[in-house]
Amino acid sequence: MRIFAFATAASFLPRQLPSSSPARCRSTNRKRPTTCLTPPASSVPSDASAANNKFRAPRGQVFLVGTGPGDPGLLTLKAVHLLRTAQVVLYDRLVSDDILSFINPSAEKVCVGKGRNLGTGSQRSIQEQIAYHASLGKRVVRLKGGDPAIFGRLGDELSYLRGEKGIEAGVVPGLTAASGAAASLGFPLTHGGVSEELRLITGHSGRDKQFEIAQVTEGSTLVVYMGLREMGATLETLQKRGARKDLPAVAVQGATTAAQRVVWGRVENLAARVEQVGLKSPTVVIIGEVVRMAHEWEETAK
């Protein structure tokens, strides 16, 4: 079996902020992701001041930790241990309150989530915050949805911490959304004689270049991460590249969580069905004959 993954291109904060500051993250529903607001500009030092900051305190510990797709029961034991012993946790916007509840009550929690129209800072500023807290000798956990190694900017953060700051970081994997979605719906991602190749791509711009390499072929499974906005164009491109119109496909929002929503279909009609239902991010799309093995396929995909 071959597995391919393709991706496209897609400061400091003070140690504590007043409780009234809009930089705090809030949630009124434990089942919904935390809402992240923009920190006040006056609280974020300029790049120049950040560059001039010379670390003098002993280096702390940094761990880049995956939460899995969302179900707290799918956290690894190591992830839970690190959350319970962390002094600072920097977390993404899609990390639920159920998972945040594992964090050491005395730890400082910083929402660094990014997303469309959130304006919560660049990847660079997130990396600077990690390094800043580590420079104070803290035990720092960077909490990321899914698996940090799969479209999770793990390489960027490791390169910055190791290459630019000389800070070593441990990595704790999480269950990726594709595995969680397939498991929750009762079908495999690979299966002997049906699919012996798994391809993971993002649905961002640059689709034509991707699909010259990652077109769906017989005997393969394609998973599209972050592909909701461009789903129609993505599936149309697949058909132009030779994918069968009747190839089974499924879109899963909030895989493994209480808010999970599922839309079944085929390459030719999935985008229209998703638009009709109104799925929201995060949604993962799985395409291939393995989808036909799901419990609900025959009853719902006709």
Please give the positions annotated as active site: 92, 114, 226
Residue with tokens 């660049």: 122
* Tokens, residue 47: 């790049």
- Dihedral of alpha carbons 80, 81, 84, 90, sign: negative
Residue of 290, 292, 178 whose CA lies nearest to 226: 178
Q: Which residues pair with 4 in a beta bridge?
A: 199
Give the C-alpha distances (Å, rounded to integers) separating 90 from 77, 130, 221: 19, 8, 34
Give 72's DSSP letter. G
Q: What is the spatial distance between Cα 208 and Cα 8, in angstroms, rounded to a whole number?
A: 11
Q: What is the spatial distance between Cα 35 and Cα 25, in angstroms, rounded to a whole number?
A: 6
What Rg, from alpha-carbon coordinates, does the chain have? 20
* Tokens, residue 220: 């393969």
Give the C-alpha distances (Å, rounded to integers) separating 128 from 18, 52, 111, 121, 187: 21, 12, 14, 11, 41
